[in-house]
Amino acid sequence: MSEVGSQLWKGYQGALGNGGHGGGLPFPGFDNANGQGGSFRPDAPELGPTFPVGGGEEGGEDYPDYPNNGNEAGYPDYPENGGEPEQPNYDGDQDSGETDENDMQPPPQDDNGKCHKWDWWSSEPAIGVNLGNWLIPEWSWMGHPDGISYNGDIYSQCAGRTAECTEEMRTNWEGYILESDLEYISNHGANMVRIPVPFYAFIDTTGDEPYPTDEAQKMELTRVLNLLPAYGLHAVIDIHAVPGSQNGLEHSGRLGEAYFLTQTSQYWERALNTVRAVTEYVQSLPEDTQCMIAGIENANEIKPENDDQIGTTKKFAVESYDIVNKAGFTLVTSDAFLGPAKWSDMFTQGENVALDVHRYWAYSDPASVTDASIADDLAKFATEAAASHLPIFIGEYSNARPYEQDVESLRYTYQAEQSLWVGALAGSAFWAYKGEQGNDWNWRKAINDGVIDTDDYYNFDMTPEWLKQHIRDMFGERSRI
């Protein structure tokens, strides 16, 4: 581990999950003497699940209930202090009014005379959209080129037929995102795109991996990135598919097991090499393009299922930081569905890191989700997020819910979400820009159908007043509502 990584290690307290590991212990699964480097230990014990894998909203805390109708003042009671909310410090303690080492503060600016890159700590939030289904196919539900029979993931699609599969993918790479798409995104008020990319566009495959490594996919990425300055768009380069798969889902490149987490010794160095390769690629771009790179994300939706895997995830974030920060870029790291509170032991104020949190209601039990419950969930999340010492970027969200999808209800969901994402956090990126899905998932269709008002991203008229007041109370001067 580098000197930077060793310093970050000092902030790691080891309080993982419910019980977790004591302070000062090394990352689970690694032979780290006092946390100073070491190699992966494949025989490390699995300690059992310690959090709800599908969630993370609990954040390790007990939250009060938030009745959707609020109280007479128009927002929920706060019984712990007589009905009046305390102004939280950003480390979750009562704010003394003085800066402490856990307050959320930006890293020092050192641009060496170049442009300032995206500032995740500024008053301007990211208003973004994901360019999904482009370089990473999610053809099972977002559509695919005509005449192609799809087998469920890119690994199966290409197995035994890599050359033919590469030609199929070239059609998608070259035709899915055009300059006119960037123009549309910019003209509709967005300032950022999040771009999912696969590891196999940057490093070689090994063994029987059938993935297409054709240089054309990187050339198409370069084409799009070099257009960003003309349209005033920044970009997060998101490593959406990690060697071995970080979650076993279609978008990781391979359905099934998350081999990066279960067979880490086989995939660890390749994953870090991917981060290096992406970072070096960004450094090779023209200077005006580099200035539009808001961050490099080391792994999309990594999904640990026990303490050992949580340790692997956090160590991967630290070592990725060494690589990305040294090159002068912000590391964007997934919260791994743990919630921001579970990252309170990672990194320190002033580190060049943003936390990517994904929030969806589409996969919840229909009996448990209503317009009111969404507002309640957002209030709970606001309480946790306000205590974070890292800027929080909602890198994926949608309007989808497991109940009616009429325009008015979808508008309510969108405005309620954005009242927190844009109203107080570091911003968001809608999933996804386009595709065959409806206006609950398709940004362009949502705009065309009147679900999203791109003339005013601060239109929260449909958001309950009590929720807006709660956000103001939690975030204080950081609130933009």
Taking each helix axis as running N to C, give the angle between helix 307-326 and helix 264-283, from 0 to 180 degrees, rounded to the nearest 10: 20
* C-alpha distances out from residue 10 to 6, 18, 26, 164, Å: 7, 21, 11, 49
The per-residue pLDDT for 15 is: 29
Look at domain 3-478 and name its CATH class: alpha beta
Which 8-state DSSP code applies to residue 200? G
Write down the residue that tokens 């590991």 correspond to: 21
The per-residue pLDDT for 341 is: 96
Q: Where are the domains of the chain?
A: 3-478
Tokens of 433: 């820009």
The per-residue pLDDT for 405 is: 82
| 248 DSSP β-pair partners | none
Please give the full DSSP string across 320-363, using - where no structure is assigned: HHHHHHHTT-PEEEE-TTS-GGGGTTSS-TT-SEEEEEEE--TT
Beta strand pairing call for 331-334 and 234-241: unpaired
Tokens of 32: 């780290």
> What span, in angstroms and rounded, lies between the C-alpha atoms of 89 and 113?
34
Q: How many other C-beta atoms lie within 10 A of the C-beta of residue 151?
A: 15
Evaluate whether 318 touches 311 at the Cβ level (below 8 Å). Answer: no
The per-residue pLDDT for 112 is: 59
Who contacts 70 (Cβ-Cβ below 8 Å, separation ≥6)? 76, 464, 465, 466
> What span, in angstroms and rounded, lies between the C-alpha atoms of 360 and 292?
28
H-helix or E-strand spanning residue 294:
strand 293-297
The per-residue pLDDT for 106 is: 76
User: Could you tell me which of 309, 213, 296 has the C-alpha nearest to residue 267?
Assistant: 309
User: Could you tell me which of 275, 276, 319 has the C-alpha nearest to residue 298?
Assistant: 275
The per-residue pLDDT for 97 is: 46
Tokens of 55: 């969630």
Stretches in the chain below the pLDDT threshold 50 = 1-38, 40-64, 66-97, 99
The per-residue pLDDT for 116 is: 65
* C-alpha distances out from residue 394 to 174, 213, 356, Å: 28, 30, 6
Tokens of 65: 């209930």
Sequence length of the chain is 481
The per-residue pLDDT for 404 is: 80
The per-residue pLDDT for 418 is: 98
Burial-class residue 327 by CB neighbours within 10 Å (0-12, 13-18, 19+).
middle
Write down the residue that tokens 């209800």 correspond to: 409
Read off the pTM.
0.84
Who contacts 451 (Cβ-Cβ below 8 Å, separation ≥6)? 399, 407, 410, 411, 414, 439, 440
The per-residue pLDDT for 103 is: 64
Alpha helices per DSSP H over 82-143: 139-142
